[in-house]
Structure 1
Amino acid sequence: MFRELPCIKAEGESFTQDVHPVIEEMPLAVSVNGRHALTAMTSPVMLREFVIGFLYTERIIKDIEEIESIRFEENTASVLTTNPFKILTSQKTVLSGCGGSMSFLDVEKLPEIDSDLTIDADSIRESVKEALHSELHVKTGGIHVVGLYGKDGRVAVVEDIGRHNALDRVIGYALEKDIDLSETYVICSGRISSEMVRKCLVANIPAIISRGATTTLAIDIAKARGLTIIGFVRGKKMNIYSGGQRVADMSSGDAGYLEAKMEEEKEI
């Protein structure tokens, strides 16, 4: 996933020729039923899982059984589905950065979370610590990490230049392994955006957790559709922005009272 490339390193007034590990990025053109659907800038790993997860979170397929075949050739992926008329209405380039949504957000059309999952605070801290320990990030400084966890611990941890791509990958992995996503939660290294929230809602993943920040739109959508957002998980600290009832250490009464108080203060 990286190559050693030459560079000139500067330290103070000293300049020396050296090499440094640089993360790989590649374009992947995907066609669905003979029509170009998207071009994604992504890391060159787990491409099958990425394609499956992307098609699922964009609602091009409802389940993995709708995929008849995926064929890879160099930088292209050709997908055939059981419904040959199911194609995207527009072509899209999905960049490796923080954008990349195919969908316009209409909160009322997004599914509500259907899950009875609860997670204790210690498990949240331990899973964040485990998932986000990335030797590749330490080496290159240019990678995002997304982990999928359940009651029994780690399901899959994926690294990619874009966190949205990494989320699609773990979802695709879970679909192939027939894992019940309603009993899982997501750990991510970067900001929790509205697009990350949308993907979790479509996949019925009840919680998304980060050591970083989130956005106001992500929180608003999460509250409206029953998703738990937890940010700034560092050491013993964390911020629970929505869905506090899924944190086992809090009683449902406490979670409801505190979130109601948050809403009151927001309106003042």
Structure 2
Amino acid sequence: MSDLIISPKPDDPKLSASVSGFDQTGVPVETRVVTERALTLYLNRQEIVTMMTIGDHPDLLAVGYLANQNMLEPDNPITGVDYDDDLGVVVVRTRHETNFEEKLKKKIRTSGCAQGTIFGDVMESFEDVKLPGNTILSGRVLQNLLKKINTMPSLYLTAGAIHGCVLARDDAPIAYMEDVGRHNAVDKIAGWMWLNDCDPADKLFYTTGRLTSEMVIKCVMMGIPILISRSGFTAWGVDLARSAGLTLIGRARGARFTVLSGEERVIFDSQPVTETSK
């Protein structure tokens, strides 16, 4: 775990709350539940979107969202990110003024939790992305990575009802983010990568959520060649992954996994699953 730079903070009291209830026998119980807060994002003076989030890393979420929507450009650097906790507002400021009024009209509603959206011209850029082909993942390395992720402290283990995403190099997690919407967790990692000038070419991306079109689009736009999930696929997600040359691995649990795209990057050397190892 020495390569892990940023990770969940399950003990942060702002991220979950104790709620009274009853179990199946009617006995009173106390349980932890995750928080859910509205965060309104501005790019300079323009309101972009309001997101429902657990509230950690608003700066990374804001920058990552804008990066994945093609609203940030290398020749217009970020000069500051301001966050007001009381108002639930985050403002990303760039050197030059921006105007995405027309772009904001071209929204496409996605299957993401909490009403995920992408903007129409993202699909145009998606078709031009070329993913690196020399990143290789072996089944045994994937098995080791999954074991590390599943044993890391997380808000999911504390309160549940949350998605997690992990950026990794081989079987070493680098950044681990959680949120109520899987697209938010992705965007936090995208924001961290953007602000830290992280090279995506040799990275893997793991998510607990479904491998939908939105997840594939975000991963491709981030330049990461391999996307992994413990969950399943959607047909459009598979079609987009194949068209972009993205390696798409789903139903990854233990030594088992299914590859539906980009199998040329995978070394199939997983240990056979026996009755005693299930």
TM range (shorter): 0.7 to 0.9
The answer to whether the Cα contact below 8 Å between 2:136 and 2:266 also exists between their aligned partners in 1 is yes
Query: Superposed, which structure 2 residues align to 1:140-159 within 5 Å?
Result: 140-151=159-170, 153-159=172-178
Residues in 1 aligned to 2:75 and 2:233: alpha-carbon distance in whole angstroms = 30
The answer to whether the Cα contact below 8 Å between 2:84 and 2:90 also exists between their aligned partners in 1 is yes
Which residue matches 2:84? 73
Q: Does 1:230 align with 2:249?
A: yes
SS at match of 1:30: strand
The answer to whether the Cα contact below 8 Å between 2:206 and 2:227 also exists between their aligned partners in 1 is yes
Q: Does 1:2 align with 2:16?
A: yes
Q: 1:178 Cα deviation (Å)?
A: 2.0
Which residue matches 2:272? none
Residues in 2 aligned to 1:26 and 1:64: alpha-carbon distance in whole angstroms = 33
Amino-acid identity (%): 25
Q: Unaligned stretches of 5+ in structure 2?
A: 1-14, 270-278
Which residue matches 2:5? none
- The one-letter amino acid of 1:128's match is L
Q: Which has the higher contact order (CA 8 A, sep 6+)?
A: 2
Residues in 2 aligned to 1:51 and 1:107: alpha-carbon distance in whole angstroms = 20
SS at match of 2:104: coil
Residues in 1 aligned to 2:75 and 2:84: alpha-carbon distance in whole angstroms = 21
Question: Structure 1, residues 218-239: CA drift from partner, whole Å, max 9, x if none?
Answer: 1101111111100011222110
Q: 1:152 Cα deviation (Å)?
A: 6.6
- The one-letter amino acid of 1:82's match is R
The answer to whether the Cα contact below 8 Å between 1:33 and 1:87 also exists between their aligned partners in 2 is no
Which residue matches 2:223? 204
Residues in 1 aligned to 2:110 and 2:49: alpha-carbon distance in whole angstroms = 7
Residues in 2 aligned to 1:81 and 1:140: alpha-carbon distance in whole angstroms = 37
Residues in 1 aligned to 2:227 and 2:114: alpha-carbon distance in whole angstroms = 16
Q: Does 1:170 align with 2:185?
A: no
- Which structure has greater helix proportion? 1
Question: Structure 1, residues 211-263: CA drift from partner, whole Å, max 9, x if none?
Answer: 1101110110111111110001122211000001111348xxxxxxxxxxxxx
Which residue matches 1:41? 52
Answer with 211-220 or 125-134: which moved more: 125-134
Which residue matches 1:241? 260
- The one-letter amino acid of 1:247's match is V
Q: Does 1:123 align with 2:141?
A: yes
- The one-letter amino acid of 2:146's match is V
Which residue matches 1:259? none
Residues in 1 aligned to 2:110 and 2:82: alpha-carbon distance in whole angstroms = 20
Moved over 3 A (4+): 91-96, 104-109, 132-135
- The one-letter amino acid of 2:197's match is D
Residues in 2 aligned to 1:162 and 1:226: alpha-carbon distance in whole angstroms = 26
User: What do you get for the CA RMSD once the two structures are aligned?
Assistant: 2.5
What is the TM-score of this pair, normalised by structure 1?
0.84
SS at match of 2:65: helix
What is the TM-score of this pair, normalised by structure 2?
0.81
Match of 1:30 among 13, 24, 41: 41
